[in-house]
Amino acid sequence: MTEEHTEPGAEIKPEKEYNIKAMIDADAFPWITGSERKKYRRYAAIIQADFEGENMLMATRVPEGQKMRYIVKGRAIKRFIKVYGPGLRLQQ
């Protein structure tokens, strides 16, 4: 049985909008590993850093009580992956 390798973000549809949970389910950033909770935090950190910096993801922020929800279009995710791919590292 051979393991099938797909391109990062292959399941992302350009016309669709994604929240962080949907991005995790589609494995948009496959280089992010760990538990579901750790993945959520890492995705949120990447999106927030991009929002405050280059804004390549063109995320829309929607306040929900004490939290912030991000919505990102699929075509922006694909462009982000093409530019940064697994080479992206956050300073902690």
Cβ atoms of 75 and 15 within 8 Å: the answer is: yes
Residues with Cβ within 8 Å of residue 50, at least 6 apart in sequence: 56, 57, 59, 80
- Of 61, 66, 22, nearest to 40 (Cα)? 22
What are the tens digits of pLDDT across the range 25-65?
A: 999 988 888 998 999 999 999 999 999 999 999 999 999 99
What are the tens digits of pLDDT across the range 3-19?
A: 455 777 888 999 999 99
Q: What is the pTM of this model?
A: 0.82
